[in-house]
Every structure is written in structure tokens, then in C-alpha cells.
């Protein structure tokens, strides 16, 4: 699938999965049960910049870890939905409550739990190392892997298309 300038200029909302998108998908598990992930600082800068320019940023993830929530809050993200089993329902509820049209949403996911929700968004995006089925439905495939700048590349591309990077 190809992406057009119109696809980029109509976006006003970003929704991201966490594992495999904002992180590289690796979990470091400690004996006490804590699971640690690494976030990319350049992705974080882009998220903060997008928020400062009036874009909405939301997170919908199946996992629910306190450390992840703290990191997302540090970035200024207010709409954080963790521990979500039905991502479609969570997104639809969020869009309805905020008055956001699905065509104005860029969703970045990386694996099958994101498949259905991605099909309901205006711009379907994924990291370079996303699952094959996710790449097949994506209109924007980053040149970067998850947790390695894929989020930054998406945000920067959209903001540059709108002349506000």
C-alpha cells in the first residue's frame, strides 16, 4: 500500500501499542517478578513535541506495568489504556469520548493483537520488524524497528507533512 500526502496531513491523533512499538519487544524479567523494558529517548522527544503542537497521543496496550505507566506519564501522555483485552472497544470508546474521527488517527502496532484496531484507523503504521500480517495492512512501514525510532519516524513524517515539525 502506498501513502499519500493527504494521508499524512489529516492526522491529528496518534495511538501506539507499547511492546514492540515503543520498546523493542524484549522483556527483562527479574527474580522478584519485575519486568523491565527499554524506551527510545528519540521516540520520547517526538511524542512530547507532538503533544506540545496540539496532537493527541494515546496508548492502548495489553500489558499493565507500573513502570510503563510512569514513563508514559513523564512524556506527557494523558490517555493511557493499559491491561486492555479488547483494543477495538478501547479505541472506539476513546474516539467517541474525545470526538475524534477514525480517519484522523494514526495507529502504530506490531503484532496480531493490533490487527483489528489498525483496520479502523485512517493511517495504519508499523515498525520495520512488525509481524508479516501487520506489515501487509500497513500504509506506513517505518524503516526503524520497534523501540529503535519507529515512533519518531512516524511522528516526524506526519508533522513535517503538516509543516509543524
- For strands 35-36 and 28-29, give the pairing: antiparallel
What count of residues does the chain have? 165
Specify the residue for cell string 479502523: 120
Can you tell me the mean pLDDT for 144-153? Answer: 98
Count of C-beta atoms within a 10 Å radius of residue 28: 9
Please give the DSSP secondary-structure letter assigned to residue 154.
H
Phi, psi of 98 (to 5 degrees): -95, -5
Contact present, 69 and 62 (Cβ < 8 Å): no
Q: Which residues contact 25 (CB under 8 A, 6 or more apart)?
A: 19, 110, 146, 147
Q: State what percent of residues in the chain have pLDDT above 90.
A: 88
pLDDT at residue 2 in the model: 59
The string of pLDDT tens digits covering residues 53-79 is 999 999 999 999 889 999 999 999 999
Per-residue pLDDT, averaged over 69-93, amounts to 97
pLDDT category of residue 148 using cuts at 50, 70 and 90? very high
149: nearest Cα among 104, 108, 111: 108
Q: What is the pTM of this model?
A: 0.95
111 annotated to bind ligand: no
Mean pLDDT of all residues belonging to the chain: 95
pLDDT for residue 73: 98
The whole-angstrom separation of Cα 52 and Cα 74 is 14
Q: In the structure, what pLDDT confidence band is assigned to residue 4 with cuts at 50, 70 and 90?
A: low
Query: Mind listing the domains of the chain with CATH numbers?
Result: 5-161 (3.40.50.1000)
Query: Looking at residue 34, what is its pLDDT?
Result: 83
Q: What is the mean pLDDT of residues 103-117?
A: 97
| 6 has a pLDDT exceeding 70 | no
Would you say residue 32 has pLDDT above 70?
yes
- To the question of whether residue 79 is assigned a binding role by annotation, the answer is no
pLDDT for position 79:
98
Q: 110 among the known binding-site residues?
A: yes
Tell me: pLDDT of 3 over 80: no
Amino acid at each position: 500500500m502506498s501513502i499519500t500526502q493527504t494521508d499524512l496531513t489529516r492526522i491529528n491523533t496518534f495511538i501506539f501499542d507499547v511492546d514492540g512499538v515503543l520498546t523493542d519487544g524484549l522483556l527483562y524479567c527479574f527474580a522478584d517478578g519485575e519486568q523491565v523494558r527499554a524506551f527510545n529517548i528519540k521516540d520520547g522527544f517526538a511524542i512530547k513535541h507532538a503533544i506540545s503542537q496540539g496532537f493527541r497521543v494515546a496508548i492502548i496496550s495489553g500489558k499493565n506495568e507500573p513502570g510503563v505507566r510512569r514513563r508514559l506519564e513523564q512524556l506527557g501522555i494523558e490517555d493511557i489504556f493499559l491491561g486492555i483485552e479488547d483494543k477495538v472497544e478501547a479505541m472506539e470508546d476513546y474516539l467517541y469520548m474525545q470526538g475524534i474521527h477514525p480517519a484522523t488517527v494514526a495507529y502504530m502496532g506490531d503484532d496480531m493483537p493490533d490487527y483489528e484496531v489498525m483496520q479502523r484507523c485512517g493511517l495504519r503504521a508499523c515498525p520495520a520488524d512488525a509481524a508479516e500480517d501487520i506489515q501487509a495492512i500497513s500504509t506506513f512501514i517505518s524503516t526503524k524497528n520497534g523501540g529503535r525510532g519507529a515512533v519518531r519516524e512516524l511522528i516526524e513524517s506526519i508533522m513535517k507533512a503538516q509543516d509543524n515539525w
